[in-house]
Amino acid sequence: MSYEQGARPKFDIEVLRKIVKASVKSTPPPPGFDPLTASQADLKQFAFPVRPDRKLQPAEYAFWQKMFAEQLAFEEFDFDLFTSVVTQARGFSGQSPRRQTSRNWSGAYITPRDGTIFSTMWATFQVPTPNPPPDGAPGDDDRSSTWIGFDGQRRYYMSTLPQFGTAQDIELGTGIPVRSFYAWWQWWVRDLTGQAYPIKLTAPAIHPGDLIMCYMQVASDRARVSFMMKNVTTRRFVHFYQDPPQPDDWGLPFKVSGATAEWVMERPAIPPDPNPTPLPNYGTVDFHGCGATAINMQTGAIVERSLSGAKLIDMYVVRQDPQRTVKISIPRQLDTTEFLTEFQ
C-alpha cells in the first residue's frame, strides 16, 4: 500500500470511482469453469490472465495448480474507495547493497537481468494479526499491509507501482483495540493524484490467519495488469485486470517497466502526515512459494526467477535520546522461495 508525501490532493471520490471502474474488468466465469483446463481464449473472455506453460514455466504453473486445485467460489468483483485520500512515499532509493533500509517497507525484491523484464509474480502468505506495538499509545492508528508488486522503487517516469495484497490495521482507542482486515490493490503513480488511493476489494473477506495466494501478470503490451487472489482458508477467489492510469496533461502512456518484483510488509501513512504510521506488532509474516517470470521482449524467451540473489529491506524508525535508527521489521531469507519478515 503506497502513500505519498505532500499536501492532501483534492479529488472527487465519485469521479475517481468511475475512472477506476472504467479501467477494470472482471467477468464471473460460468459454474464449473476450470482455469487449469479452459482454453486461453476462454480465460481471456472471463478476464483471467494467460495460463503459464507447464514446461517453460514450471514454478508458475505449479502455483496455478495450487490456486485452482479445489473448487472455488468466484467472487463478484467490487471495490470501495477510502474516504480519505492517501498518498505515496517510497522510503528508499538508489541503494544497491544486498541489505537495504526503508522507512515504510520491509521485505525482499529482485531485479531482472540479461535483457529481460518481469512479467508475472506470485506468493503465498498468512494474514498476520496486528497487536499494539510496545510503545503504542491510546489513539494510535497502526496500519500494516502485506503485498506483492512491480516497480515503484525509483523516480523515473515509468516506475509506477501495481501492487496487490491485504491490509491489517489496529486502532488503539481508550477501550478494546479495533482490528480491521481487507484485500486491496493499487496502481500507484508518483504525483498522480487519482492513483494515490489504495482500493479496497469488497471480496474476498479477509480474516487474521487466512492463507492468501496472490498472483499478478503483466500483459504482453505492458499496459495491463491481471490480478488474482485466492483466500485458501475460505476458498474464495477474486480476479480482475486493470488498464494503466491515465497520465496528467497528455503525458506518455504508462506501461509496466518490470524493473523490480517485490514482496513487502509495509507501514503506510495517513495524510496529511507524510510519516508512516506506527507499525503494529504483526509478529511474523511468512512469504512462501515466491516466484516471478521475466521475459526478453526481443526474443519472447521467458525465464523463471526465484528469490536467489534477492535484496532484503529492513524497515527502520528514528528514535530520540539518543537519536538513532532502530530496525522494527526485518526480513530473513529461508531459501530461494521463502522468507520471513519479523516484527522487532
Partner 1 sequence: MTGNTGNTGNTGNTGNTGNTGNTGNTGNLGGVGWFIADRVDLPFVTRLAPDGQSELGSLRRTPPAHFGDRLWSANWYAWRVLHQFVAKVPNWATTLDGDARLTDIRNDLVADYDGQIDNLVLAARDERPDAMGLILSQDGEFFSDFLAVLTIRPGTHPQTWRVLNIASLIGSFAALYFKDKYDLPRPTQICPALLPPIPVPGHSSWPSGHSTQAHLMKNCMLRIFAKAAMPAADQDVWSADLNVLADEIARNREIAGLHYPADSAGGARIADLLDTVILTPGAVKMFDDAVTAAAGEWQ
Binding interface with partner 1 (CB under 8 A): 94, 96, 111-117, 156, 257, 259-260, 297-298
Measured over all CA atoms, what is the biggest interatomic distance in the chain, rounded to whole angstroms?
Answer: 63
- Grid cell at residue 186: 493499487
Please identify, using beta-carbon distances, which residue of 113 and 324 lies nearer to partner 1. 113
Q: Give residue 340's region: left, alpha or beta (phi > 0; psi -120 to 50).
A: beta
Q: How far is the CB of 113 from partner 1 (least distance, A)?
A: 6
Please identify, using beta-carbon distances, which residue of 91 and 112 lies nearer to partner 1. 112
Please identify, using beta-carbon distances, which residue of 117 and 269 lies nearer to partner 1. 117
Alpha-carbon distance of 173 to 227, in angstroms, equals: 35
Q: How many CB atoms lie within 10 A of CB 187?
A: 29
Alpha-carbon distance of 134 to 141, in angstroms, equals: 14
Please identify, using beta-carbon distances, which residue of 228 and 259 lies nearer to partner 1. 259
Alpha-carbon distance of 136 to 282, in angstroms, equals: 13
Q: How far is the CB of 104 from partner 1 (least distance, A)?
A: 21
Q: How far is the CB of 154 from partner 1 (least distance, A)?
A: 8
- Convert 205-260 into a string of H (helix), E (strand) and C (coil): CCCCCCEEEEEEEECCCCCCEEEEEEECCCCEEEEEEECCCCCHHHCCCCCCCCCC
Please identify, using beta-carbon distances, which residue of 94 and 322 lies nearer to partner 1. 94
